[in-house]
Chains A and B, each alone.
Chain A
């Protein structure tokens, strides 16, 4: 039933290791499509690894293998010292997982959802109920605890889903795009919860397509594209590699670009780039908001009224453009070029 390795008091399939997740050469193919082409990664205990990539990069496949939901065609994976391929049921005791969609029962209340998961984790009725109440309070769901989940807005559903993954406070949590489809406020709420779990010592693997999310939460980032690792490093290393945030101004008059370039060079300390055809001037910036205020002030003093002005946040697209020369979300032309 789900493989050998039945959890029991007298068995322990754990091997001692420093990293909470170790994947070696994971390969998964679907027919002629290679979803993972030898993914190797290691996540030290109590840290967050961001698995960053666009759709079809292989993130979900990697998460599903680590969560014991999918068997790879090759490679190995240990979670909290347990071989997830040899002893999946044992490994599941140490893993909490959230998929791309909140896996919650619409017709049950929030409380019933969590109590049910607690009981299936063998917490016993009383402990399951207490734990459900604790989690509902922690996730700010107490007021809605006894309402059917189909009444919950998306942010609350996702919080409940995340609470469900934490019923047993597992040492390893796998999150597959936990903020997909959420508004910014809900995203920040989820980030808070994730940060709190990591401070409590949980090891987290976060699959995401948002660079800002990986940047905010991850200690290390692995950038995936079509099953291959494009690059890996700390968020600072990745962001530095692509040049970080940029201050940019779009001008209504092409003749103003020289003046705007001079101003940007002064505000940002040089390295301004002009894109004449787009009437655009850009420069890398560290302290974005004060620099933006200063830029507005100086442009105004110079009598320049820009069409658009702002801070361009580094995005997954920037990473991909830098690493592959193509966007993360391929255009038809990109697809043809790759083919």
Chain B
């Protein structure tokens, strides 16, 4: 077997492990699948009567791209807990004593996480449609939007893997992930445009990578508020730059941490 074929097989075997885990432990899918529905119910339905975004006719239409990104980020964040569990249970040590490349193990693992992210995105989109969200662009732009969401989720997964390999255990990961993701996803344009926020908070929300991705999505799907000032030429490279930077940072760092994973 060539090195490449062997590496592909290793990726598949470790990805299958992750997929089987999702199937055997349905509770792992509870948060990824319920969270977007609950958030849509809370923000898109319960609060929609009191929220008015300038230039937006339908709040669920504005909200859905943001909630989709948020849901995907939270699902991707769960990878940190899974990786920390693998370290604690000795599975990382076990894999490291096999003649398998670190990259094969981690790419396999993140491939399985990507499937969960896709499921989250599908549920969030379905919840948005039920609440009144619609895509107002063509099929290519719609598909590009979903691809952007998945790429963003994949980048967050790798960052989460770094976290999972760096913390002391799954308990620490369970605390750290929401502590990072809640401000990252709420101090952004997910729920409201940054220019409606207090002046001290606005720069943070505008500089937030989540805002860049959500803006790009709204532009791709025709959900950007009228007169927001966001234009495709500037919004797309910014979102893609953030995603590429995250991947370029996280993948080598995760491989480095994996090779130096502590004893269980």
Could you list which residues of chain A lie within 8 angstroms of chain B, going by C-beta atoms? 1-2, 6-8, 60, 64, 67-69, 89-90, 92-93, 95-97, 99-108, 112, 116-117, 119-122, 148, 164
Closest CB-CB distance, B222 to chain A, in whole Å? 42
Contact of A99 among B3, B93, B102, B103 (CB under 8 A): B93
The interface residues of chain B, by DSSP majority, are classed as helix
Bound complex: CA A106 to CA B20 (Å): 11
| Contact mask for chain B residues 1-28; partner A; CB cutoff 8 A; 1 contact, 0 none | 1010010011001101100110011000
Determine whether B257 belongs to the interface, using a CB cutoff of 8 Å to chain A: no
Contact of B102 among A2, A92, A106, A120 (CB under 8 A): A2
Determine whether B134 belongs to the interface, using a CB cutoff of 8 Å to chain A: no
Q: Which residue of A lies closest to B99 (CB)?
A: A92
Please, which residues of chain A bring their CB within 8 A of the CB of B9? 119, 122
Q: Is the CB of B97 within 8 A of A120?
A: no
Please, which residues of chain B bring their CB within 8 A of the CB of A69? 93, 96-97, 263
Bound complex: CA A116 to CA B93 (Å): 15
| A–B pairs, 16, beta carbons within 8 Å | A1-B104, A1-B255, A2-B96, A2-B101, A2-B259, A64-B263, A90-B99, A97-B94, A103-B93, A104-B89, A106-B89, A108-B17, A120-B95, A120-B98, A121-B98, A122-B9
Q: Which residue of B lies closest to A118 (CB)?
A: B13
- Given the known inter-chain contacts A117-B98, A119-B9, A120-B98, please indicate yes or no for A112 contacting B93, CB distance below 8 A: no
Q: Is the CB of A1 within 8 A of B102?
A: yes
Bound complex: CA A303 to CA B39 (Å): 82
The interface residues of chain A, by DSSP majority, are classed as loop
Q: Is the CB of B263 within 8 A of A60?
A: yes
Bound complex: CA A142 to CA B141 (Å): 53
Q: Which interface residue of A99, A107, A120 has the most chain B CB atoms within 10 A? A: A120
Closest CB-CB distance, A57 to chain B, in whole Å? 14
Determine whether B100 belongs to the interface, using a CB cutoff of 8 Å to chain A: yes
- Given the known inter-chain contacts A101-B90, A107-B20, A107-B21, please indicate yes or no for A119 contacting B97, CB distance below 8 A: no
Contact of A97 among B6, B13, B97, B102 (CB under 8 A): B97
Q: Is the CB of A107 within 8 A of B24?
A: yes
Q: Which interface residue of B3, B16, B20, B98 has the most chain A CB atoms within 10 A? A: B98
Bound complex: CA A106 to CA B93 (Å): 16
- Given the known inter-chain contacts A60-B263, A119-B9, A120-B13, please indicate yes or no for A103 contacting B94, CB distance below 8 A: yes
Q: Which residue of B lies closest to A90 (CB)?
A: B99
Please, which residues of chain A bring their CB within 8 A of the CB of B263? 60, 64, 69, 99
Determine whether B138 belongs to the interface, using a CB cutoff of 8 Å to chain A: no
Contact of A116 among B3, B13, B264 (CB under 8 A): B13
Q: Which residue of A lies closest to B10 (CB)?
A: A120
Closest CB-CB distance, B83 to chain A, in whole Å? 14
Q: Which residue of A lies closest to B103 (CB)?
A: A1
Determine whether B34 belongs to the interface, using a CB cutoff of 8 Å to chain A: no
Determine whether B91 belongs to the interface, using a CB cutoff of 8 Å to chain A: yes
Q: Is the CB of A122 within 8 A of B91?
A: no
Could you list which residues of chain B lie within 8 angstroms of chain A, going by C-beta atoms? 1, 3, 6, 9-10, 13-14, 16-17, 20-21, 24-25, 89-91, 93-104, 255, 259, 263-264
Q: Is the CB of B89 within 8 A of A101?
A: yes
Contact of A93 among B25, B94, B99 (CB under 8 A): B99
Please, which residues of chain A bring their CB within 8 A of the CB of B24? 107-108, 148
Q: Is the CB of B20 within 8 A of A108?
A: yes
Q: Is the CB of A100 within 8 A of B264?
A: yes
Bound complex: CA A4 to CA B103 (Å): 14
Contact of A121 among B3, B99, B259 (CB under 8 A): B99
Please, which residues of chain B bring their CB within 8 A of the CB of A68? 96-97
Q: Is the CB of A103 within 8 A of B98?
A: no
Closest CB-CB distance, B60 to chain A, in whole Å? 37
Please, which residues of chain A bring their CB within 8 A of the CB of B20? 107-108, 112
Bound complex: CA A95 to CA B96 (Å): 11
8 closest A-B pairs by CB: A103-B90, A103-B94, A1-B101, A107-B24, A92-B99, A97-B97, A101-B90, A99-B90
Bound complex: CA A114 to CA B14 (Å): 13
Q: Is the CB of A67 within 8 A of B97?
A: yes
Contact of B3 among A8, A60, A67, A100 (CB under 8 A): A8
Q: Which residue of A lies closest to B21 (CB)?
A: A107
Closest CB-CB distance, B126 to chain A, in whole Å? 27
Bound complex: CA A196 to CA B74 (Å): 49
Bound complex: CA A104 to CA B93 (Å): 11
Q: Name 5 extra pairs, CB < 8 A, besides A2-B96, A100-B90, A119-B9.
A: A6-B3, A99-B93, A107-B25, A116-B13, A122-B99
Closest CB-CB distance, A101 to chain B, in whole Å? 5
Q: Is the CB of A119 within 8 A of B13?
A: yes
Closest CB-CB distance, A173 to chain B, in whole Å? 11
- Given the known inter-chain contacts A112-B20, A119-B9, A120-B10, please indicate yes or no for A102 contacting B90, CB distance below 8 A: yes
Please, which residues of chain A bring their CB within 8 A of the CB of B97? 67-69, 92, 95-97
Bound complex: CA A234 to CA B43 (Å): 72
Q: Which residue of B lies closest to A100 (CB)?
A: B264
Bound complex: CA A69 to CA B255 (Å): 14
Bound complex: CA A129 to CA B75 (Å): 33
Q: Is the CB of A103 within 8 A of B6?
A: no
Please, which residues of chain B bring their CB within 8 A of the CB of A95? 97
